[in-house]
Amino acid sequence: MLIAVLFHMGIIAESMSGALAAGRHKMDLFGVFFISFATALGGGSIRDVLFNHYPLLWVQSPHYILIVLVSSLIATRIAYFINRLERLFLTFDAIGLAVFSTIGAKIVIGMGYDLTLAMIGAMITGSFGGILRDLFCNSMPLIFRKELYAFVAMLCGAIYWFSYPFLGEELATLCAIGIGFIVRMIAIRYKISLPTFIFETKEKS
């Protein structure tokens, strides 16, 4: 029950972040919904296609489409309020990242794949929605240049993989979500990120 609640919170937060990104680029309501949908459900959809896992979540449970639609429309009405509460929505986003990533790993592991693919499945599920959002908005994806994000997603997958045989499905899920959330919040608080590669060419005079 708790995991389901956290999952829905994550979808709502991601939908609203997508709506705000669309609003910054002055999109119409269809654009707002499309970007919100890609942000909230795009990562899981890409995972399912790549791992041949059908039906897709939103096809099997269409109410998720309604959640995205309602959340994105609400975001258009309270955009200023959401922007003012940035830290709160960063917290919800961190919850969504940890939950999505862990569930992605569970699905991949349930299909019989190994640790490496479980971590990749977690990373795709947790972070590709944000990548789609930024690409559709013609921006460099935030996960490539901000605090730990894809790393946290893969960490959730690894934690679930190693803890599942000892703790069982439910406790392993909560453990992966909890540790992933804490690491993400610490990264935000102290602006921890992976090393940056900078390459500049010298122009010939």
Taking only the tens of pLDDT, the chain with its 205 residues reads 788 888 998 899 899 999 999 999 999 999 999 999 999 999 999 999 999 999 999 999 999 999 999 999 999 999 888 878 888 888 988 999 999 999 999 999 999 999 999 999 999 999 999 999 999 999 989 888 777 999 999 999 999 999 999 999 999 999 999 999 999 999 999 989 988 888 887 766 5
Domain residue limits at 127: 2-190
Does 108 map to a domain?
yes
Does 201 map to a domain?
no
* Euclidean distance between CA atoms 202 and 184, whole angstroms: 37
* Euclidean distance between CA atoms 23 and 31, whole angstroms: 9
Does 205 map to a domain?
no
Does 78 map to a domain?
yes
Does 196 map to a domain?
no
- The candidate with the shortest Cα–Cα distance to 122, out of 103, 95, 141, 147, is 103
Instruction: Output the pTM of the full model.
Output: 0.92
* Euclidean distance between CA atoms 57 and 46, whole angstroms: 11
Does 67 map to a domain?
yes
Helix (H, G, I), strand (E, B) or coil at 195: coil
Q: How many domains does the chain have?
A: 1
* Euclidean distance between CA atoms 135 and 38, whole angstroms: 10
Does 198 map to a domain?
no
Report the chain's terminal Cα–Cα distance, integer Å: 65
